[in-house]
Amino acid sequence: MPIANQTLDEILDLAAAHFKVPREKLSPDEDFFKALGIDSLQTLDLLTKLENHFRVELPDYELQGVSDFRTLAGKIQARL
């Protein structure tokens, strides 16, 4: 599904740029907390970045238990 792949790519690009992690080190099924090395406040930053970029609202509780980029992309895709 090309649109979903584009969303996933944009998330990976955005996360890599914001947290200054090499893009090639991030993969779709990776645990993003570990890959980005982020704490609770930085997780909120990521959420805000994603909401601003995709112009969506992502209620925090919908992201509970979500830890990989692919599932995150699916949550965003569902609100586009």
The 3-state DSSP class for residue 68 equals strand
Measured from the CB atom, the residue of 16 and 63 that comes closer to another protein is: 63
Q: How far is the CB of 24 from another protein (least distance, A)?
A: 24
Dist. CA 48–CA 28, nearest whole Å = 20
Classify the phi-psi angles of 67: left when phi > 0, otherwise alpha if psi is within -120 to 50, otherwise beta. alpha
Q: Of the ranges 4-12, 22-30, 39-47, 68-76, which one interacts with another protein (CB under 8 A)?
A: 39-47
Closer CB to another protein, 12 or 38, in the complex: 38
Interface residue with another protein among 33, 68, 74, 75 (CB under 8 A) is 33
Distance CA 65, CA 57 (A): 17
CA 52, chain centre distance (Å)? 12
- What residue ranges bind another protein (CB under 8 A)? 33, 38-41, 43-45, 47-49, 51-52, 57, 59-61, 63-64
